[in-house]
Homo-oligomer: A and B are copies of this chain.
């Protein structure tokens, strides 16, 4: 078995962590920002240094390719993203880019034979933090292969018009034109020229760490639903309205939230559900709220469990503490299973390297989940310290990152051999 270099991995982590350094251990590196362009330049410099050819497509995705001994065969891609959320960490996304770079570097330096062209790739704007939505470029590039209810949210012409959340004016299309990385549509990853896509990523959860496992062999991206739940009351003066006359939409929302927790907790314990957003009207401390709207995100691999969740929502009490309660589905996605053959390569690679591992699913969305509709795809997870992600505390040790890269590389070599 071949293994990657901890020394090079450490150097890359230190180098990329400078691009967008937010000063508290993490980065703010919005897609196509100056910081992200520095990261792209670093990618290009290092990949050209090992003799890779670097191209970009019309969504500014970058492809660094080393030729195989049979260069007409469809290639194998290792990809992730180099953009971050606001005050994100040094591993989400960029680890998968560094993993691809490190795999190619090891293969070149150690002269490891391979038939297929091998590509390290950067997907543009995975986070969608500055220009929503997330997974924008994979949504556009994989569009013809996506289910229609997802595809319709990722039309290229709409994406180009996505406006910056910072100024509300400048668009993703303008940023793309100005970036210097807008290339040829013909360079897009596609099912004719590529046979497989692998994505190395941090787990972003606590499961591997709790089980003391080095590697997560990812089998699927969880199916999920997202609903908006609303309570409607009556705005009245906080000082003049006796309790018995109130229709307090926030108190109703608290009761609905508790009801949903109680009911969902009766379902399969692997179900995860979250209320992360709440809107209150009029949101004035002297006024009884007349309207609350909160998000409900629920995820599980088994569509039967998701159906039970939906049934609980549909059968919620319609009136709570004098307020009416209603709901609206925001969006859903089915569980996306990764390619069994590729999952097998990851499993074998981890086992043969002697890294402790387990099957795991991905609760988070990734470009890989869109790519899976287009070509065989899978993912490799490494542990996240304390399960933290999308925050500056995000941490995975150099050793763990390098183990991830080694699994990625060996899985790719197995794919290459078959």
Pick from A206, A236, A282, A363 the residue with the most CB of B within 10 Å: A236
Check B239 against A365 for contact (C-beta < 8 Å): yes
Pick from A222, A236, A239, A278 the residue with the most CB of B within 10 Å: A239
Query: Number of A interface residues, CB 8 Å?
Result: 62
Check B258 against A276 for contact (C-beta < 8 Å): no
Closest to A207 in B: B242
In the complex, chain B residues whose CB is within 8 Å of the CB of A297: 238-239, 285-286
**How many monomers of this chain does the complex have?**
2
What's the minimum C-beta distance from A302 to chain B, rounded to whole angstroms?
15
B243, B255, B271: which contacts A271 (Cβ < 8 A)? B243
B238, B241, B254: which contacts A206 (Cβ < 8 A)? B241
In the complex, chain B residues whose CB is within 8 Å of the CB of A288: 274, 276
**Known: A237-B205, A276-B238. Contact between A269 and B243, CB under 8 A?**
yes
The residues in A between 355 and 372 inclusive whose CB is less than 8 angstroms from any CB of B are 362-365
B277, B287, B295: which contacts A276 (Cβ < 8 A)? B287
Q: Which of A27-35, A168-176, A190-198, A384-392 contacts B (4 or more CB under 8 A)?
A: A384-392
What's the minimum C-beta distance from A154 to chain B, rounded to whole angstroms?
17
B271, B286, B295, B391: which contacts A274 (Cβ < 8 A)? B286
What's the minimum C-beta distance from A145 to chain B, rounded to whole angstroms?
22
In the complex, chain B residues whose CB is within 8 Å of the CB of A265: 243
Check A391 against B235 for contact (C-beta < 8 Å): yes
Closest to A241 in B: B205
In the complex, whether A59 has a CB less than 8 A from a CB of chain B is no
The contact string, 1 if C-beta is below 8 Å from chain B, for chain A 232-252, is: 001111111111110010110
Closest to A289 in B: B276
In the complex, whether A40 has a CB less than 8 A from a CB of chain B is no
Closest to A290 in B: B391
In the complex, chain B residues whose CB is within 8 Å of the CB of A234: 388
What's the minimum C-beta distance from A379 to chain B, rounded to whole angstroms?
12
Check A387 against B277 for contact (C-beta < 8 Å): no
In the complex, chain B residues whose CB is within 8 Å of the CB of A251: 257, 261, 275
**A to B CB contacts below 8 Å, 9 in the list:** A204-B239, A237-B390, A238-B274, A240-B387, A244-B269, A251-B257, A258-B258, A274-B287, A277-B285
